[in-house]
Homo-oligomer: A and B are copies of this chain.
């Protein structure tokens, strides 16, 4: 199959998968979540287990009544109980993806990270991977971490690199991701300890830690994504000007990229939490409807094509 280069083909690709994904939703009680669920049902690529808080179960009850063969309803005592039950659906193998509805992210994460009953992979790092469909690029652009780890350690950068390359392969079907290690200059120096971590990542990559991969950096966003800048600076690398995975030095840079490419670059950005046994979709109120829908669609594709 052709690698996926933009979001528009995702529903068709999911429909052609050998099975339908099941999504457990904690507290589907707002119109945004409702819209994503109905759109996914209309696009015929997912079924849902809706875990509603009994105090705000109207939307979930309506969806279960309207789509009896696509929706299973579980009614929980409160938000925390709903989070626990939704996580349990994943942990016990009845759901492939976990999605946040209208409860606080902290409440959902408490259930996700619970040592006995959660779904964090043992010894694993929870992180966020975003996927941008940028009008001016002819491929999807993966980046991390824009939302969870403030200032990654070398071990956390290593985990981020493993996750992002796995996720790239699962979602696009491409087999040799091109990873740029982002930094404000090309210099490796002790003044910026993160550049020393980057050197370790490159050594890990050379030793095969991330499978088939091209990795380069430190380099800035323009050098990573614009072939001309690299040519002017005289940097030759398969990554320069052509990166499809960006590892950001810290959450401030990752978040700034996320917001800037959305607001000024016309990009649609999907996002998910990884490091768990199943992808977790945690959209935020200010995200567009498309961003929320494609967050779920990319998470479903990742779940189906698990590396």
Binding site for B on A (CB under 8 A): 134, 136, 146-147, 150, 182-184, 191-192, 220-223, 225-226, 228-229, 232-233, 248-257, 259-267, 285-286
Task: For A191, give its contact among B150, B228, B249, B266 (CB under 8 Å).
Answer: B150
Establish whether residues B259 and A256, one from each chain, have CB atoms under 8 Å apart when the complex forms.
no
Establish whether residues A233 and B136, one from each chain, have CB atoms under 8 Å apart when the complex forms.
no
Q: Known interface pairs A221-B263, A249-B252, A263-B222. Does A233 touch B192 (Cβ–Cβ under 8 Å)?
A: no
Establish whether residues B259 and A222, one from each chain, have CB atoms under 8 Å apart when the complex forms.
yes
Please measure, in the bound complex, the distance between the C-alpha atom of A223 and the C-alpha atom of B263, giving whole angstroms. 10
Question: How many whole Å from A142's CB to the nearest CB in chain B?
Answer: 15
Can you name 8 A-B residue pairings with CB atoms under 8 Å? A184-B251, A221-B256, A225-B263, A250-B253, A256-B257, A260-B261, A261-B264, A264-B265
Q: Known interface pairs A221-B256, A250-B250, A255-B220. Does A263 touch B182 (Cβ–Cβ under 8 Å)?
A: no
Kindly list the 6 A-B residue pairs having the minimum CB-CB distance in the complex, ordered from nearest: A264-B265, A184-B255, A252-B253, A221-B259, A222-B259, A253-B256
Q: Known interface pairs A226-B263, A264-B134. Does A252 touch B286 (Cβ–Cβ under 8 Å)?
A: no
Query: A226's closest neighbor in chain B, by CB?
Result: B263
Please measure, in the bound complex, the distance between the C-alpha atom of A183 and the C-alpha atom of B223, giving whole angstroms. 24
Please measure, in the bound complex, the distance between the C-alpha atom of A262 and the C-alpha atom of B221, giving whole angstroms. 10
Please measure, in the bound complex, the distance between the C-alpha atom of A253 and the C-alpha atom of B285, giving whole angstroms. 23
Task: For A233, give its contact among B183, B221, B286 (CB under 8 Å).
Answer: B286
Task: For A221, give its contact among B229, B260, B285 (CB under 8 Å).
Answer: B260
Please measure, in the bound complex, the distance between the C-alpha atom of A186 and the C-alpha atom of B134, giving whole angstroms. 26
Establish whether residues A256 and B264, one from each chain, have CB atoms under 8 Å apart when the complex forms.
no
Establish whether residues A264 and B233, one from each chain, have CB atoms under 8 Å apart when the complex forms.
no
Please measure, in the bound complex, the distance between the C-alpha atom of A267 and the C-alpha atom of B147, giving whole angstroms. 26
Task: For A267, give its contact among B226, B229, B248, B264 (CB under 8 Å).
Answer: B264
Please measure, in the bound complex, the distance between the C-alpha atom of A259 and the C-alpha atom of B150, giving whole angstroms. 21
Residues on the B chain within 8 Å of A232, using CB: 285-286
Question: How many whole Å from A153's CB to the nearest CB in chain B?
Answer: 15
Query: A192's closest neighbor in chain B, by CB?
Result: B150
Please measure, in the bound complex, the distance between the C-alpha atom of A265 and the C-alpha atom of B257, giving whole angstroms. 11
Question: How many whole Å from A85's CB to the nearest CB in chain B?
Answer: 28
Task: For A252, give its contact among B228, B248, B259, B266 (CB under 8 Å).
Answer: B248
Please measure, in the bound complex, the distance between the C-alpha atom of A229 and the C-alpha atom of B248, giving whole angstroms. 24
Establish whether residues A257 and B255, one from each chain, have CB atoms under 8 Å apart when the complex forms.
no
Interface centre among A146, A232, A286 (most CB of B within 10 A): A286
Question: How many whole Å from A221's CB to the nearest CB in chain B?
Answer: 4
Interface centre among A192, A220, A264 (most CB of B within 10 A): A264
Question: How many whole Å from A41's CB to the nearest CB in chain B?
Answer: 26
Residues on the B chain within 8 Å of A226, using CB: 263
Please measure, in the bound complex, the distance between the C-alpha atom of A233 and the C-alpha atom of B249, giving whole angstroms. 27
